[in-house]
Amino acid sequence: MSDKKGISMRIKVLGQQFDSDNNKIDEIQLITDATIKNENGLFIIDYTESSENANDNVTTRLRVTEKKLIMTKLSMVSSTLEFEVDNKYHSIYSTIYGDFKMIISTMEYNYNLNKDGVGDIYLKYMVNLGDGEPYSNALQISLYE
């Protein structure tokens, strides 16, 4: 897969949030079209989703390797989130309501993409927003033709 524009695929993103007792408290699912390209073992996946603001779409770019996922959201406000087991990443999460300091600690990262980028990625991570209590999240990303 060396096409500079990328190959069209479908992406399913399932996000789940859990409370301190590991009870699921929220779930969001997105299924949409995506483009994927492989640049020397780094998969770059781009897709568009709706934003909280009806006049603004969010373009999401995932940069994925066997050990790490970087998620960049681009719109009127932008943010970058990094996921890698045994590393804490500090970021600013920008929303239409303001900016929040964020710490992400990835506990689990399962990478199962084939050479064409078809397959799944699973993340389990803790998020600490501002001075609030940390909470647990899971992200399941599936790419298929």
Question: Does 29 fall in a domain?
Answer: yes
Q: What is the CATH number of the domain that holds 102?
A: 2.40.128.20
Q: Using the 8-state DSSP alphabet, how is residue 24 labeled?
A: E
Describe the chain by its helix, strand, coil percentages, rounded to 5. Answer: 0, 70, 30
Average pLDDT, the chain: 90
Q: What is the pLDDT of residues 88-142, one digit of tens each?
A: 999 988 777 888 899 999 999 999 999 999 999 999 999 998 888 888 999 999 9
Question: Does 2 fall in a domain?
Answer: no
Question: Does 1 fall in a domain?
Answer: no
For the chain, how many structural domains are there in total? 1
